[in-house]
């Protein structure tokens, strides 16, 4: 069979589909393009159907340059965005997991910022990648994604404390939280763990689409894993820096209830029930709301 006749011809979309098919397939363990095409036929023949060779490189070699760049760039991005998960499961497993993730959930956004937005979902469906640290792995992924959201997520006009108090009947008043906030109930103190990992992280290059000649770094070091401890966190942004702030369980209860759309009174009653023996809880509650408002966390629903 004439290999050229089997190719995409001059149709632009067909050419782009063939090209994308080639470059998004995982590399071999030796960092080469897979020798077989998706249909099981020799990749050299499939690639030669639409890419020219030159005097130094075959068609296969030329597409392989793009195949490598695709994986190096995307893997580098996940390495940078999820250093805690990488430290937990180790380089080799993180590498394999990333390939499986990107194969299952290829990027559907113009920005690499969103590359990891379905990693939590992926790991929920394929927990083997984080076994036996299922809860710790889940906590880490959620916190690391929350960090990305807090870094540049949308900020709406904040409600001042006076506006909160004048907001009407607490039985019906609903408060919104800034879109960049994430409240987390964790089974491990992952905040401390990630902070220690990030302190050792290398500075990165910048998203520019210049190509890289390097395979993704393999520099994960051994970290002492945290012991189980129930913690409640809010990942927020203050003065353009990302912060992990621990919350008391009742504070988390209130915030998560408000975030679900429950009225202010209902949210607070839940917390009061847990602290009914605490005579000063009313004052504590006032302090919490004053502090949260001062951070600009509240916004209109």
**DSSP character string of 226-244:** PPP--EEEEEEEETTEEEE
Q: Between 63 and 257, name the residue whose CB sits nearer to another protein.
A: 63
In Å, how far from its chain's centre is CA 301? Answer: 26
Q: Binding another protein by CB under 8 A: which of 35, 90, 106, 228?
A: 106
Q: What is the phi/psi pair of residue 19, to 5°?
A: -60, -50
Residue 261 binds another protein, judged by CB under 8 A = no
Which of 202, 201, 295, 197 shows the shortest CA–CA distance to 251? 295
116 CB neighbour count, 10 Å cutoff: 23
Q: Binding another protein by CB under 8 A: which of 124, 131, 165, 211?
A: 211
Q: Between 7 and 137, name the residue whose CB sits nearer to another protein.
A: 7
Q: Binding another protein by CB under 8 A: which of 92, 131, 152, 229?
A: 152
Residue 236 binds another protein, judged by CB under 8 A = no
Q: Between 218 and 273, name the residue whose CB sits nearer to another protein.
A: 218
Which two structure tokens, joined as six digits, stand for 90? 């180790």
Q: In 224-259, which positions are buried (b, 16+ CB within 10 angstroms) versus exposed (e)?
A: eebeeeebbbbbbbeeeebebeebeebbbbbbbbbe
User: Of 144-152, 182-190, 257-265, 273-281, which segment contacts another protein by CB under 8 A?
Assistant: 144-152
Residue 253 binds another protein, judged by CB under 8 A = no
Quick one: CA dihedral 249, 255, 259, 263, positive or negative? Answer: positive
Q: Between 1 and 210, name the residue whose CB sits nearer to another protein.
A: 210
Residues 161-200 that bind another protein (CB under 8 A): 179-180
| Smallest distance, another protein to C-beta of residue 64, A | 9
| Smallest distance, another protein to C-beta of residue 121, A | 17
Contact 188, 139 (CB under 8 A): yes
Q: Binding another protein by CB under 8 A: which of 54, 125, 169, 280?
A: 54
Q: Binding another protein by CB under 8 A: which of 157, 169, 203, 227?
A: 203
Q: Between 30 and 203, name the residue whose CB sits nearer to another protein.
A: 203
- Distance, in Å, from the CA atom of 237 to the CA atom of 296, rounded to the nearest integer, reads 9
DSSP letter, residue 160? P
CA dihedral 43→103→30→77, nearest 10 degrees, is 130
Which two structure tokens, joined as six digits, stand for 78? 């996940």
Q: Binding another protein by CB under 8 A: which of 1, 30, 56, 222?
A: 56
User: Of 60-68, 87-95, 228-236, 250-258, which segment contacts another protein by CB under 8 A?
Assistant: 60-68
Q: Binding another protein by CB under 8 A: which of 26, 127, 153, 263?
A: 153
User: Of 119-127, 204-212, 270-278, 293-301, which segment contacts another protein by CB under 8 A?
Assistant: 204-212
Which of 295, 289, 292 shows the shortest CA–CA distance to 268? 289
- Distance, in Å, from the CA atom of 122 to the CA atom of 133, rounded to the nearest integer, reads 15
Q: Binding another protein by CB under 8 A: which of 108, 132, 162, 227?
A: 108
Binding residues for another protein, rule: CB under 8 A, are: 4, 7-10, 12-13, 15-17, 19-20, 23-24, 49-52, 54-57, 59, 61-63, 65-66, 69-70, 73-74, 106-113, 150-155, 179-180, 203, 205-213, 237, 240-241
């Amino acid at each position: 069979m004439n290999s050229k006749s089997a190719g995409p011809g001059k149709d632009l979309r067909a050419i782009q589909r063939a090209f994308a098919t080639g470059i998004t397939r995982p590399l071999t363990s030796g960092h080469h393009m897979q020798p077989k095409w998706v249909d099981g036929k020799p990749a050299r023949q499939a690639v030669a159907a639409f890419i020219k060779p030159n005097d130094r490189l075959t068609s296969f070699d030329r597409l392989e340059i793009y195949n490598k760049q695709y994986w190096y760039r995307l893997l580098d991005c996940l390495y940078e965005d999820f250093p805690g998960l990488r430290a937990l499961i180790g380089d080799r497993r993180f590498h394999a997991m990333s390939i499986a993730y990107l194969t299952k959930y290829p990027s559907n956004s113009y920005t690499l910022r969103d590359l990891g937005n379905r990693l939590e979902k992926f790991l929920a469906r394929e927990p083997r990648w984080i076994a036996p640290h299922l809860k710790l792995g889940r906590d880490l992924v959620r916190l690391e994604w929350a960090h990305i959201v807090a870094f540049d997520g949308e900020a709406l006009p904040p409600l001042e404390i006076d506006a909160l108090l004048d907001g009407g009947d607490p039985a019906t008043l609903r408060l919104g939280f800034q879109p960049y906030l994430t409240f987390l109930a964790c089974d491990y103190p992952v905040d401390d763990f990630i902070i220690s990992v990030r302190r050792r992280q290398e500075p990165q290059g910048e998203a520019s689409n210049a190509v890289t000649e390097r395979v993704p770094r393999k520099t994960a070091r051994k970290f002492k894993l945290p012991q189980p401890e129930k913690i409640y966190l809010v990942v927020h942004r203050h003065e353009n820096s990302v912060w992990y702030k621990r919350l008391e369980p009742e504070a988390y209860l209130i915030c998560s209830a408000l975030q679900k759309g429950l009225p202010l009174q209902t949210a607070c009653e839940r917390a009061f029930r847990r602290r009914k023996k605490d005579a000063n809880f009313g004052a504590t509650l006032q302090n919490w709301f004053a502090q949260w408002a001062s951070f600009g966390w509240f916004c209109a629903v």
